[in-house]
């Protein structure tokens, strides 16, 4: 299944100051999440951002806040699954009523909050596209196992560039030109 600009929304899970320094390939994860934010902005996709216990884990990292600009409206949570937070659940159910049934998911940690969020979204009937290189864990092994696990549950696990090119569909458009700086 391809992502569809009219059905998709972006979920960014817990890209926070005190978590990110310990993440394997954390800089790459940030750059890929920034690319997805640019994609969301290019296609006017709804974006849902979470922060796990920001009092203890800090806020969203500065480079991502800079990319988000006016889209920086975090939902604070204590549950590991974003779906367990009532305001998140309400937001994504509202999006589904608008025909947005494809969740593009990125963030950290792959084997904890991202995994549980993807599992619950799948159980609630969403089509989930996980950006494999825009999620991370402290240990590479946990990251890889999480990708395998959510893939076996029915999520579509794809590189960020695959998601970008699926949505772009063709070269030569204004959207393609807008995304060129983010395509490595």
| Cα distance between residue 19 and residue 108, in whole Å | 8
Q: Is residue 14 part of a domain?
A: yes
Q: Is residue 45 part of a domain?
A: yes
Q: Is residue 118 part of a domain?
A: yes
Domain with 30 in it: 8-182
Angle (nearest 5°) at CA 99 between 112 and 14 = 20
Q: Is residue 3 part of a domain?
A: no
Q: What pLDDT, on a 0 to 100 scale, did the predictor assign at position 94?
A: 98
Q: Is residue 2 part of a domain?
A: no
Q: Is residue 175 part of a domain?
A: yes
pLDDT per residue as tens, the chain (184 positions): 899 999 999 999 999 999 999 999 999 999 999 999 999 999 999 999 999 999 999 999 999 999 999 999 999 999 999 999 999 999 999 999 999 999 999 999 999 999 999 999 999 999 999 999 999 999 999 999 999 999 999 999 999 999 999 999 999 999 999 999 999 6
**Domain count across the chain:** 1
> What's the whole-model pTM score?
0.97
Q: What pLDDT, on a 0 to 100 scale, did the predictor assign at position 143?
A: 98
Q: Is residue 1 part of a domain?
A: no
Q: What pLDDT, on a 0 to 100 scale, did the predictor assign at position 1?
A: 86
Across the strands, what pairs with 62? none
Q: Look up the CATH number of the domain holding residue 132.
A: 3.40.50.850
Q: Is residue 42 part of a domain?
A: yes
């Amino acid at each position: 299944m391809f992502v569809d600009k009219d059905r998709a929304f972006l979920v960014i899970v817990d890209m926070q100051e005190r978590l990110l320094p310990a993440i394997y390939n954390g800089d790459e994860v940030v750059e890929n999440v920034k690319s997805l934010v640019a994609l969301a902005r290019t296609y006017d996709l709804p974006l849902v951002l979470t922060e796990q216990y920001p009092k203890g884990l800090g806020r969203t990292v500065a480079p991502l806040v800079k990319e988000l600009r006016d889209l920086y409206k975090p939902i604070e949570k204590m549950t590991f699954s974003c779906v367990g937070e009532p305001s998140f659940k309400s937001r994504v159910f509202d999006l589904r009523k608008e025909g947005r049934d494809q969740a593009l998911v990125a963030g950290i940690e792959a084997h904890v909050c991202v995994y549980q969020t993807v599992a619950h979204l799948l159980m609630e009937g969403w089509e989930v596209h996980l950006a494999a290189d825009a999620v991370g864990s402290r240990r590479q092994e946990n990251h890889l196992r999480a990708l395998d696990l959510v893939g076996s549950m029915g999520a579509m696990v794809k590189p960020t560039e695959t998601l970008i090119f699926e949505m772009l569909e063709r070269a030569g458009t204004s959207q393609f030109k807008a995304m060129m700086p983010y395509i490595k």
